[in-house]
Amino acid sequence: MGQKCAVLWGFIGLVVLAVGIITPTIFNIILRQEMRKMLPLEVGSYSYEKWRDLPVPMQIQLWVFDVINADEVMDLGVKPYVVEKGPYTYRLKKQKENITFHANSTVTFRQLSWYYFDRELSVGDENDTFTTINNILLGAAYMTRFEYPVVKEITNLLLEALGGNLYEKYTVWDMVWGYEDPLLKIIKDDILGAFNLSYTLDDHFGFFYKWNGSDQGQFTVYTGAEDLARLSKVDTYNGLTNAPFWSTPYARMLNGTDGTFFPPFLDKHKPLFFYSPNACRTLYMDFDRENIVKDIDTYRYLLPASMLESGSVNPDNVGFCTPNADYCMPSGVLNVSGCREASSAIMSYPHFLGGDPEVINGVNGLHPDPQHHASFLDLEPTSGVPMEVAMRLQIGVFVSNFSSIRQLKHTRTYFHPILWFNESTVITDDLAGQLRTELVEVVQAVSVLHYLLPCVGAVVAVIAVFYTLRRRKRQKKNTENRETETDSTENDPLLVT
């Protein structure tokens, strides 16, 4: 290799080194430009159809808690003993309708849900029975707990006339999808009707009553067209900019997305926020660990225990104490009575996972286990695409001894679980393959080039420099040898013949 050739290879090595160093910067600029084309919620974009009609199979599994010592609980005031029954599985279909775009880069929509019972993935039929709390009786007692004695007495007489007990037997269908309740029917037909009152009361009750084929409210979210960091973030819910059920600005805020999409370029040091109509509040998830779903690297996030800490423990949660800070519940439960028509409803993690011991031990038969009861979300960190989701929440009630109500006079104070559900999905193989080909493998290739090219360039440059120095050293040595030989020849004596 000649001198010019060595210099050329050295120059090439430096160029390769420089290209390797600046490649990620250039690629990130190009990637962000492509994301601005693909991700915004606009008609014709790559993500629009997937956002409007979620293309992944979803299901919701339900487990109910069957009380096996109801008589002893009502007559002797002992702890309830529950046995979990489930799952009862439904295939879930979601689609957004009434989509309206606005000039401020927001879009308004309603998301409809359809539930289809899957007997093969269930332990039994929807007509399976279990014993649980009489929610209407308990709700009547809860609503009148601060009323005048005459109101309490009228309520007690009405409940006595109906002959209901604190614990009754229901089918899974009744408790989930609704049944006609005799107390509600009397109030609707005989009281409101007799006095010709205009107040509207539904005489049916069920935790998912009227959910099938309907929506849970109107969302307005940002499309991300102007700023991808605001992609799918909630602007209003049912026309409101806050959740009015709570008492502090922090508790009332509508923060984060609607839970369908998340902004790209995730930062594992920042929590993810989303508004949940089920919980009537903003929820957040903390980064847990790096994971792999369908051969794609993901960030896994979990609902933390701190989110349901008592306001007396976590000052941020004081606003969730209902009706005020003097009525904070123990850690592990959220009082949602304010957004559940003055009921005594509570929401928690399944089996009161992460709750205070007094909450968990108030009922026998609970076995909280993070592996089975923790909610998690796996996202591809560059695009923010959900890869796998398991949202696990529990519905229950707060039971207290209202001495004016006969059915409750022997009852202790405790938190009673009724059912918990797991709404889950995982990306399909086709969508995972598409994401892997179009994004993940490209990002991985650039990452490899980011390290490979500088190494190659540095090696080439070092070899070229080494060769040049070695060649110069060799040339210098040859020159010195020739000079030495010349001097030796000049100093040798002439031979005489």
Could you say which DSSP state residue 493 is in?
A: P
pLDDT at 30 over 80: no
Q: Tell me the residue type at 132.
A: T
pLDDT digits (tens, 9 = 90+) for 379-437: 999 889 999 999 999 999 999 876 677 778 788 889 999 999 999 999 999 998 888 77
Q: Using omega within 30 degrees of 0 as the cis cutoff, is the peptide bond preceding 87 cis?
A: yes
3-state secondary structure 331-379: CCEEECHHHCCCCCEEEECHHHCCCCHHHHCCCECCCCCHHHHCCEEEE
**Cα–Cα nearest to 347, from 410, 296, 416:** 416
Mean pLDDT rounded to a whole number for the chain:
84
pLDDT digits (tens, 9 = 90+) for 169-202: 999 999 999 999 888 887 777 665 555 555 567 8
Distance, in Å, from the CA atom of 30 to the CA atom of 497, rounded to the nearest integer, reads: 87
Instruction: Check: CB of residue 388 under 8 Å from CB of residue 423.
Output: no
Q: Tell me the residue type at 198.
A: S
Instruction: Check: CB of residue 141 under 8 Å from CB of residue 408.
Output: yes
Distance, in Å, from the CA atom of 58 to the CA atom of 386, rounded to the nearest integer, reads: 13
More confident residue, 182 or 234: 234
pLDDT at 326 over 80: yes
pLDDT digits (tens, 9 = 90+) for 36-67: 878 899 998 888 999 999 899 999 999 999 99
Strands 414-426, 386-399: parallel, antiparallel or unpaired by DSSP?
A: antiparallel
pLDDT at 164 over 90: no
273, containing H or E segment: strand 272-276
CA angle, residues 209, 56, 273, in degrees to nearest 5: 70
Q: Tell me the residue type at 276.
A: S
Quote the pTM value: 0.84
Most confident option among 8-12, 55-59, 452-456? 55-59
Residues, the chain, total? 497
**Which tokens is 416 given?**
């009673």
How many Cβ atoms are within 10 Å of 367's Cβ, its own excluded? Answer: 11
Distance, in Å, from the CA atom of 474 to the CA atom of 184, rounded to the nearest integer, reads: 104
**Which tokens is 312 given?**
């007396």
How many Cβ atoms are within 10 Å of 207's Cβ, its own excluded? Answer: 18
User: Is 238 strand, coil or helix?
Assistant: coil
More confident residue, 363 or 152: 363
Distance, in Å, from the CA atom of 288 to the CA atom of 69, rounded to the nearest integer, reads: 39
**Which tokens is 296 given?**
């794609």
Instruction: Check: CB of residue 207 under 8 Å from CB of residue 393.
Output: no
**Which tokens is 159 given?**
């409940």
pLDDT more than 70, % of the chain:
78
